Structure 1
Amino acid sequence: MTSQLLGTPGPHAPTTTEARQGKRTTKGTGWRALPFLALAQFMVVLDGTIVNLALPRLQLEMGISDSTRAWVVTAYALVFGAFLLLGGRISDFWGRKRTFITASAGFAAASLIGGLAQQPWELIGARALQGIFAALLAPAALALLTVAFPGGKDRGTAFAIFGSISGVGAAVGVLLGGFLTEFVSWRWCFFVNVPIAVIALLGVWSLVRESKAAGSTKYDWPGVVLAALGLGSLVYGFANAEHGWGAVDSWGFVAAGALLLVLFVAVERKVKNPLLPLHVATERNRGAAFLASFLAGAVLIGGILFINFYLQIVLGFAPFAAGIASLPMTVVLIITAGIVAKNLPRLGAKVPSALGPVFMAAAMLWLTRVTPDGTYAVNMLPALVLMGIGLGLVFVPMQNLALFGVDKDDAGVASALVNASQQIGGSLGIALFSTIAAAAASAAGGDTLAALTSGYSMVFLWAAGVAVLIAPIALLLIRIDRKTFSGTSDTPHTHLG
């Protein structure tokens, strides 16, 4: 058990006493390493939103045009999404600890460059570098967690903590970005990553030994190129769709991305050492988790964006006040995730995965009642509480299920697929919801507060529809029983792979 987490097998088969001691050692090491692994995931998700509230002031100080401003956000998402699968395979082949440490150091350096940038191209380049290192860091962190907690109740609890970070990081990014921009400087939206990355690096360096895939470590370069171009094209097309689907740089890139990914699947079926072994993605239980992560990412990232638009533009909240206003969702999410984790062996994956989307949809439907003269207590607070409950119910079982039964040699690439699902879902959510909001606002009369609110209301209605789709996916595709899922069954869970 120790060798599964921390490195290669020892020179002799362990005795019963040694095995028990190794199990206790692994368990203790895993729990000590968990805060540092979760911290890295927190940083990666944080950087998807922390710059958003800083954009207006950043643009003014650096003299950036409106068209260039969008690249401050898009560059990170584009590179992150494009290289996630490669990052997962690098962590499997090169070593997960080595990849984690390198990526943490690189992310800190890229953040420092972004904070010191004097020219727009320097800032955008730093964001792209952050995306590259995030594509290495995120799958390495989740792969290390997967190997550290191979099954049982401890795995559920560890994944609950790690999984809730996705929702917490996005919400805290808004809060922290607003605070730093308003009271310090937008540059600290970059500098803040440096101590976080260093702490995570030192923790993993001191607590975790190396783990990597056994056997052949040849890279599937045709798959690498097709996956990077396909995922990158999708993210780029979705990002540009905010300005309308009629342009070639929106629908054209989305279509090209879809075609490239079809070719990628065809290649993966033929090559000897695929970048993405298809059984990782196509097993029905894990497939449900990846689809749910995709849709939940769209609702979470897209929904948070328009919740903050309403708070700041319509209700007139300052950036930091808007961040504070979103805290109830974060607090409720953490509480719900803890409750779900504790009861996950009894509940199984299907029940919370199907129930969570109902709460998410209810939150979005409540938000459709927003008005120009609305109030936070009436229009927003109940929805934020419902959203926190829904996300906590969905993220905990889905993070567990997405990596359940995956061979430890494929832990990195499976972890990358979870992150890629959420990233692409979030990009699609922002693009789709931005287009819907613009069309609805235009039909309602332009840029007045009433028209903007009408656009936001339509966005929340569509977001409710997207959330509802998660429930039938969970009900129809999840077939794993509670005992197998909780690790208490006599049947080895590796049969899912």
Structure 2
Amino acid sequence: MGGAAVNFEMLVVARAAQGAFSALLAPAALALVSTTFESSGERARAVGIYGGAAAAGASIGLLAGGFVTEYLSWRWTLYVNDLIAVVALAGVLGLLRGRSTENRPRIDAVGTVLVSAGLFAVVYGFGSAVRRPGADGWTEASTVSYLIIGAILITAFLGYERRAVHPLLPLRILLDRDRGGAYAALLLIAVGSYAVFLFLAYYLTATLGMSAVMTGLAFLPMTGMILVAAAVGNTLLGPCLLYTSDAA
């Protein structure tokens, strides 16, 4: 859908839908790792490999995206997700066929819709503001409306999660000191990383005049260090975390 976008609004909607399904996929992948590797040591190594694979995927994605953008079209950077989704769907249908679904928790569809629509409205509001130079964009009626709607929907999401039987985001997790702090750290890392990727890509292409392929290559040292840090961090911090978990 995103690759076939004919205007900015259609592209934003497609990316919002992609983000919503990614939000459902990421915890499912981590849950699969946690249930597959039962012992603490194996689980720690598996999570480290998972983080390293994510970093490697970022490196490959940036480089492959540069080649696709330069030699095909930027639209194919979005179409390729459809191919990956088809392969993943075939694997899921083949592996999970015939398994029991009794006592399976229900998907929090209402919570998913609320938070997805809320985040979409906030992002669209910010995008609408920066498209107009100066302070006029922030005072425009559409910008203010989207930001207010986004805040209302996110507030409604938090209120609904308090009453949901199977919440998408159990609020008790955020109130836990260890897990809440870890999630806050991940949020800051994600925000900083996306900002670096976005503005550094603009700088390399628009200011330095680098091609899409060279821009992808320029990102490799950073993503490579993320891969190394994931492996080293798992080796150094894994025993400490396991000791803390066992002591608790």
Contact 2:16–2:116 at 8 Å: present in 1 too? no
Equivalent position SS for 1:276: coil
Alignment CA distance shift 1:224-1:334 (3 Å): closer
Contact 1:234–1:254 at 8 Å: present in 2 too? yes
- Aligned partner of 2:13: which letter? A
State the match for 1:231 in structure 2. Answer: 119
Q: Which runs of 5+ in 1 are unaligned?
A: 1-47, 52-57, 84-131, 349-481, 492-497
Contact 2:129–2:143 at 8 Å: present in 1 too? yes
State the match for 2:35 in structure 1. Answer: 147
Alignment CA distance shift 1:208-1:299 (3 Å): same
Alignment size in residue pairs: 241
State the match for 1:333 in structure 2. Answer: 226
Cα offset for 1:304?
A: 0.9
State the match for 2:70 in structure 1. Answer: 182
Looking at structure 2, the residues matched to 203 and 271 of structure 1 have their Cα atoms a distance apart, in angstroms, of 31
State the match for 1:389 in structure 2. Answer: none
Cα offset for 1:245?
A: 2.6
Alignment CA distance shift 1:175-1:70 (3 Å): farther
- Aligned partner of 1:346: which letter? P
Looking at structure 1, the residues matched to 185 and 35 of structure 2 have their Cα atoms a distance apart, in angstroms, of 23
- From 13, 34, 52, give the equivalent of 1:75: 13
Looking at structure 1, the residues matched to 202 and 109 of structure 2 have their Cα atoms a distance apart, in angstroms, of 42
- Aligned partner of 1:484: which letter? T
Q: Which runs of 5+ in 2 are unaligned?
A: 132-136
Greater C-alpha radius of gyration = 1
Cα offset for 1:294?
A: 1.8
Looking at structure 2, the residues matched to 331 and 221 of structure 1 have their Cα atoms a distance apart, in angstroms, of 37
Alignment CA distance shift 1:141-1:309 (3 Å): same
State the match for 1:214 in structure 2. Answer: 103
Looking at structure 2, the residues matched to 274 and 193 of structure 1 have their Cα atoms a distance apart, in angstroms, of 28
Contact 1:78–1:236 at 8 Å: present in 2 too? no
Looking at structure 1, the residues matched to 17 and 24 of structure 2 have their Cα atoms a distance apart, in angstroms, of 11
State the match for 1:484 in structure 2. Answer: 244
Alignment CA distance shift 1:202-1:228 (3 Å): closer
* 1:257 paired to 2:150: yes
RMSD: 3.4
State the match for 1:281 in structure 2. Answer: 174
- Aligned partner of 1:152: which letter? S
Contact 1:227–1:261 at 8 Å: present in 2 too? yes
Cα offset for 1:212?
A: 6.2
Looking at structure 2, the residues matched to 219 and 194 of structure 1 have their Cα atoms a distance apart, in angstroms, of 23
- From 266, 270, 279, give the equivalent of 2:159: 266
- Aligned partner of 2:122: which letter? L
- Aligned partner of 1:311: which letter? L
- From 47, 71, 79, give the equivalent of 1:159: 47
Matches within 5 A, 1:293-442: 293-348=186-241
